[in-house]
Amino acid sequence: MTAIRRLADDREGRLCAELMSTSEPWLTIGRTFDESLKLVQHPEREVYVAFDGETFRGFIILVVNGALLGYLQIIAVTPDARGTGIGSDLLTFAEERLFSQFKNVFLCVSSFNPRARDLYERRGYQAIGEIPDYLIAGHSELLMRKTIGPMVTRSA
Ligand SMILES: CC(C)(COP(=O)(O)OP(=O)(O)OC[C@H]1O[C@@H](n2cnc3c(N)ncnc32)[C@H](O)[C@@H]1OP(=O)(O)O)[C@@H](O)C(=O)NCCC(=O)NCCS
């Protein structure tokens, strides 16, 4: 049974950074362990980890202030556990957290990551824009959005 909870300490942060820096799409993007650790340790981010008992299974990073809120910045599952539903559980967790405060969940998926894009589309995300040469030259990031309505509603 996978438990999802807030990142607890530096050891867990390093597990997240190790997973990110050794996985696609971040290998192609060239994100190092130190850069990944900086993202995980960013004081304004919310990081949640998935564990089966003592075994680390994956994590998400959420952005809850700034522009384009709420934003799912990173989602990753350990290679041996992929395809077993943990990513879907993390996505559900992210959506519940972000929709409790915002009307949208935004995320970006790299043009060379069609399997992740398929997952997001099945989960109700729509591609709303393409950002060419954003992280690395020759590839784009696709901005995707899932929504529960407009941010402002006024009665007639
Ligand atoms: C994308 C990811 C978080 C999904 O988590 P998961 O636990 O594997 O997903 P689930 O078991 O809940 O759902 C399976 C779906 O995830 C996607 N998926 C599975 N393995 C994947 C992989 N290695 N890379 C990208 N997407 C993958 C597929 O759409 C798959 O559906 P399919 O089996 O019908 O093709 C996970 O595979 C992963 O960490 N991939 C590498 C990092 C990544 O691509 N992160 C997303 C960046 S936008």
Closest by alpha carbon to 16, among 73, 100, 98? 73
Which residue range(s) make up the domain with 98?
A: 2-147
Beta carbons of 140 and 130 less than 8 angstroms apart: yes
Residue 156 lies in a domain: no
Please indicate, yes or no, if residue 110 is contained in any of the structural domains.
yes
Tens digit of pLDDT for each residue in 100-125?
999 999 999 999 999 999 999 999 99
Enumerate residues 6+ apart whose C-beta is below 8 A from 64.
44, 46, 70, 98, 101
Closest-CA residue, ligand 1 atom 19, reads 83
For residue 156, how far is its CA from the centre of ligand 1 (angstroms)?
Answer: 44
On whether residue 155 sits in a domain, the answer given is no
Domain count, the chain: 1
Answer whether residue 154 is part of any domain: no
Q: Is 114 in the pocket of ligand 1 (CB under 6 A)?
A: no
CATH of the domain at 143: 3.40.630.30
| Closest of 16, 15, 20 to residue 31, by C-alpha | 20
Q: How far is residue 70's CA from residue 97's CA, in Å, rounded to a whole number?
A: 9
Tell me, what DSSP letter sits at residue 40? Answer: H
pLDDT one-digit tens code per residue, 52-101: 999 999 999 999 999 999 999 999 999 999 999 999 999 999 999 999 99
Whether residue 21 has its Cβ less than 6 Å from ligand 1: no
Ligand 1 close to Cβ of residue 78 (< 6 A): no
In short, whether 29's Cβ falls inside 6 Å of ligand 1 is no
Domain contains 43: yes
15 to each of 24, 26, 46, 50, how far by Cα in Å?
Answer: 16, 15, 16, 11
* Pocket lining: 119 vs ligand 1, CB cutoff 6 Å: yes
**119 falls within a domain:** yes
Query: Is the pTM above the cut of 0.75?
Result: yes
Q: How far is the CA of 108 from the centre of ligand 1 (A)?
A: 14
Does residue 104 fall inside a structural domain? yes
Residue 126 within a domain? yes
Q: Which two tokens stand for residue 144?
A: 């995707």
Q: Is 109 in the pocket of ligand 1 (CB under 6 A)?
A: yes
